[in-house]
Amino acid sequence: MTQTVRGTILQTPSPDTFEALPDQIVTIDDEGVIESIVDGVGLATDADTDLGPSLVLLPGLIDTHIHAPQWPQLGSNLDLPLEQWLIDYTFPLESRFEDLEFAVTVWSHMVPSLLREGTTTAVYYGSIHESATTALAEACVRYGQRAFVGRVAMDHPEGTPDWYRDQSATDAVSASQRSIEAIRALPGAGGLVEPIITPRFIPACTDAALGGLGELAEATKTRIQTHCSESDWEHGHVLDRCGRTDAHALDHFGLIADHTVLAHATHLTNDDRSLLARTGAGVAHCPLSNSYFSNAVFSTRSALDAGVRVGLGTDIAGGPEASLLAQCQHAVTSSQMLETGVDATRRTDRGVADSRIDAITAFYLATGGGADLLGINAGLLAPGRVFDAIAVDIGARSRVRRWDGDDWGQTFEKVVRGATASEIRHVWVGGRLVEPTPT
């Protein structure tokens, strides 16, 4: 049975285009796909859901980089550089997900919490544990969140602690294969939740594991995610070990493919960008996390100009904020800071010209850019796309109130910069209204 939703649409069809479509009638088929969008101005049609003037409709948010088992430390433990942070805080926490009951407790809080933040698609790293990872995929199915869920592979005896690693490259690959099969076999997963091959990053994986996972991706036609050139340390580690940049080393192992998701990529070279553009791989840009761990700002503008796909990510919990709209704010401000520089004592040569992006580009990364990176039919409200959407309150009592005289562009900017979970009144995934309560 079809359903109709009526309201004003605000969205970004491209990185530099904003579109306001007042009072539209969206018809959604029983598969959750948009059949048609027609102008409702002057029409008396009763819609199944009429948002009225105090709610606006936007595409759902696509978070392309989340470490699910780091959820309990979100917002804390951010005083160490990456390489120490992993050992002191993060691997100990992730290792606790061997306990399936603990895992289910966390997923039952995290998945609905993220839906309330407007995250209709999530790209998750799990832990090394197959049961906890499958349970995460089950939670996504249960709560109705579109997701890619990856069991983490990490087997390097120097890059990982002996209490949290795959025992061999063979184990890393075979456990990853079993996890793909388990997620694909889940009732209700089809069209909503998919597996993704997830070597943690080169420092945590042996060459044998990396090569084996590349082959597994090819054989099982599964997408890939990993980290790439995140910080001076990580970038330098790969240069030393592999004699080439992270992106090229990953390519050597068969891990750079169409829709491969590379988190951070802060230290890409021009040649790296060409490789990504050519192969259809792209970047999960995590601006807030980068300010803690990356030693530099990812140049969104350079990546887009080179034809690289770019989505946005929270990097929970390296990024201490669950809201992807908050990441839009950080994407804009960090690009401003890249452009103007940070050190007032430097009177010349302070920043990098033409680096700035605005709220339109940032929101595109959070929606259409993420969809393009992943190769999914979401990220824009248009016929043929899934109806993944959020309705945001712009009424008189809202934090993102629309004042008399505001045009739709100003309203859009206010929503992108200011809406929190409280202002997001409805969330749909594939046409299904999800009204999640964290438990």
Q: Which residues contribute to the site for a copy of itself (CB under 8 A)?
A: 72-79, 109, 113, 266-267, 288, 291-292, 294-297, 299, 320-322, 329-330, 333-334, 336-338, 340-345, 350-352, 358-359, 396-397, 399-401, 403, 406, 409-411, 413-418, 420-422, 437-439
Measured CA to CA, the distance from residue 263 to residue 108 in angstroms comes to 25
CB of 193 to a copy of itself, least distance (A): 24
Nearest residue (CB) to a copy of itself, 170 versus 410: 410
Task: Report which residue type is found at 32.
Answer: G
Nearest residue (CB) to a copy of itself, 17 versus 410: 410
CB of 333 to a copy of itself, least distance (A): 4
Q: Is the peptide bond before 378 cis (omega within 30 degrees of 0)?
A: no
Q: Beta strand 17-28 with 3-14: parallel, antiparallel or unpaired?
A: antiparallel
CB of 38 to a copy of itself, least distance (A): 29
Contact assessment for residue 428 and residue 120, using Cβ atoms and an 8 Å cutoff = yes
Contact assessment for residue 298 and residue 285, using Cβ atoms and an 8 Å cutoff = yes
What SS3 class is residue 378? Answer: coil
Residues pairing with 36 in the sheet: 27
Measured CA to CA, the distance from residue 393 to residue 425 in angstroms comes to 7
CB of 220 to a copy of itself, least distance (A): 34
Strands (E) across 116-238 are located at: 119-125, 146-150, 152-153, 193-195, 198-199, 225-228
CB of 332 to a copy of itself, least distance (A): 8
Range 326-356 burial, b when 16+ CB lie within 10 A, else e? bbbbbbbbbbebbbeeeeeeeeeeebbeebb
CB of 122 to a copy of itself, least distance (A): 17
Nearest residue (CB) to a copy of itself, 13 versus 418: 418
CB of 78 to a copy of itself, least distance (A): 7
Helix or strand holding residue 414 (H, E): helix 408-418
Phi, psi of 215 (to 5 degrees): -65, -40
Nearest residue (CB) to a copy of itself, 70 versus 225: 70
Nearest residue (CB) to a copy of itself, 255 versus 416: 416
Contact assessment for residue 388 and residue 146, using Cβ atoms and an 8 Å cutoff = yes
Nearest residue (CB) to a copy of itself, 254 versus 418: 418
CB of 334 to a copy of itself, least distance (A): 7
Nearest residue (CB) to a copy of itself, 92 versus 254: 92
Torsion of CA 48, 50, 51, 52, to 10 degrees: 180
Nearest residue (CB) to a copy of itself, 75 versus 190: 75
